[in-house]
Homo-oligomer: A and B are copies of this chain.
Amino acid sequence: MAEQALPRFRIAVVGSGAIGGYYGAKLAHAGADVHFLMRSDLLEVRRSGIRIEGRGENIHVADVNCYASAGDIGPCDIVLIAVKTTSNGDLPHLIPPLLHSRTILLTLQNGLGNEEYLAKNFGAERVLGGLCFVCLNRVSPKLIEHYDHGRVAIGEFSGPPRERTHQITEMFKRSGVNCRVVEDLSLERWRKLVWNIPFNGLSVAAGGIDTEAMLADEDLRELLRSLMDEVIAAANQCGHALPASEGVHQIERTESMGQYKPSTLIDFERGKPLEIEAIWGEPLRRAAAAGAKTPQLELLYAILKSLNQKLLRSAAARERAVVAVPA
């Protein structure tokens, strides 16, 4: 595959946060034809570009093609979707101007339900999913810090990998991203949830603590394990053959990550909406539909939903307060 000539894809990035900004900039830096849809950060990125720092990387994309509307970008071959899942409701009006008849929609979002949502709105044929195993922090619109990992796993939403799956994977690899094709995207989504459900959830519910602090607390460590076991059992019940050993492996791998803050904790600290439904709600509903028992996931979901509602009320109150300040 490495020797093969790749089509020159025209690529749009919708959602230029840490994930969209990082992978979009990696592709652009390697010479791909990348077009970023941006809102508030447009002028700053036009002026300063995007820089990636950390883990031995120091990349600067000075000339970023960025646009205020999807109509200005026009039809593309691949759309990387990296908005927070809480903004999925914006996609039905953001995506259409980017589509031609064979445009691929590759969602790099967290959790379950995103491929289904895109399939429902734009047709299942177009949809691929990518799982990102990466520790990033978008410090400002022009600077993304890269702390750890970085690999991406790409699969088809409906069915086994095709030629396009391999081509997109190859494109990522040529831009310096550790990328592989997965045979079974749903299985891999559940495997990732084995981490996200306990670590993202408890990092917020237990009072704003990082992975190292969680693992150092004996009771929380035990809970991380028992939540992982619940998720693995639910995945199995849903027909995805995750091994029972998955939890141990993931705990081990997390121990090398240091004081890592899961994305949900970063959202929480910034007062941004949490990805409650994609990471906890949808897996819970699928587990329940398959008849799996998930008492701890249920409790965690209800607590996080309540914390999120409080967060949104505070954010709304802050916004009202700002509006009320005399000009």
> B-contacting residues of A (Cβ < 8 Å)?
202, 205-209, 217, 219-220, 222-223, 226-227, 295-296, 298-303, 305-307, 309-310
Contact (Cβ within 8 A) B207 A302: no
* Docked pose: A49 CA to B28 CA in angstroms: 75
A296-B296, A296-B299, A299-B300 known; A306 vs B220 contact (CB < 8 Å): yes
Instruction: Indicate if the CB atoms of A302 and B220 lie closer than 8 Å.
Output: yes
Chain B residues lying within 8 Å of A219, measured Cβ to Cβ, are: 298, 301-302, 305-306
CA distance A155 to B229 in the complex (A): 42
Q: How far is the CB of A307 from chain B (nearest CB, A)?
A: 5
In the bound complex, residues from chain B placing their C-beta under 8 Å from that of A305 are 217, 219
Distance (whole angstroms) from the CB of A205 to the closest CB of chain B? 5
Q: Which residue of B lies closest to A311 (CB)?
A: B207
CB distance from A224 to the nearest CB of B (A): 9
> How far, in angstroms, from A124 to B34 measured CA to CA in the complex?
77
A-B contact pairs, 12 of them (CB 8 A): A202-B303, A206-B307, A208-B310, A209-B310, A217-B305, A219-B301, A219-B306, A222-B298, A223-B302, A226-B295, A227-B299, A296-B299
Given contacts A206-B307, A220-B306, 12 further A-B contacts (CB under 8 A): A205-B205, A206-B302, A206-B303, A206-B306, A207-B303, A207-B306, A207-B307, A208-B310, A219-B302, A226-B295, A296-B298, A299-B300
By a CB distance below 8 angstroms, the chain B residues around A227 are 299
- In the assembled complex, the Cα of A305 lies from the Cα of B206 at a distance in Å of 8
Question: How many Å lie between the Cα of A190 and that of B206 in the bound state?
Answer: 26
**How many Å from the CB of A279 to the closest CB on chain B?**
15
Contact of B205 with A298 in the complex, beta carbons under 8 Å? no
Contacts of A295 in B (CB 8 A): 226, 295-296
Residues from chain B with Cβ under 8 Å of A306 in the complex: 206-207, 209, 217, 219-220
CB pair A223–B299 under 8 Å, yes or no, is: yes
**Chain B residues whose C-beta falls within 8 Å of the C-beta of A208 in the assembled complex:** 310
Taking the nearest CB of chain B, how far is it from the CB of A140, in angstroms?
28
Complex contacts, A309 vs chain B, CB 8 Å = 207
Provide the bound-state CA to CA distance between A205 and B300, in Å: 10
Measured CA separation A227–B300 after assembly (Å): 13
Query: Could you tell me if B303 and A205 are in contact, using CB atoms closer than 8 angstroms?
Result: yes
In angstroms, Cα B305 to Cα A303, docked, is 15
Contacts of A217 in B (CB 8 A): 302, 305-306
